[in-house]
Amino acid sequence: MIAKILTVSDVAKFMTQLVQEGTNAHPDEDFNNYVNMETGIPAYAPEQVAERNRLMANVSMFVKLPAWMCTA
């Protein structure tokens, strides 16, 4: 797993890694909510959840806001 999100390229690597893990990740979803659909068991251990949530929080720095959200 990538250690830090510092560039757009890092975002792409992180998202690719999540897809390779079989996760259909969404920036607004806590990784605590991901479960294995076949077993119902959580997809990630608590330390993995913390790491992925931390990284996903950094992804937001690279996401452009819609124009209507940027007006005063």
Question: So where are the chain's domains?
Answer: 8-69
Amino acid at position 21, single letter: E
Return per-residue pLDDT of the chain as tens, 72 residues: 999 999 888 989 999 999 999 888 888 899 999 998 889 899 999 999 999 999 999 988 877 656 565 554
Q: Is 64 exposed, middle or buried (0-12, 13-18, 19+ CB in 10 A)?
A: exposed
Q: Are 48 and 68 in contact (CB under 8 A)?
A: no
Q: Are 49 and 32 in contact (CB under 8 A)?
A: yes
Taking CA atoms, 19 is separated from 12, 13, 65, 70, in Å, by 11, 10, 24, 31
Which pair of structure tokens corresponds to residue 5? 């999100």
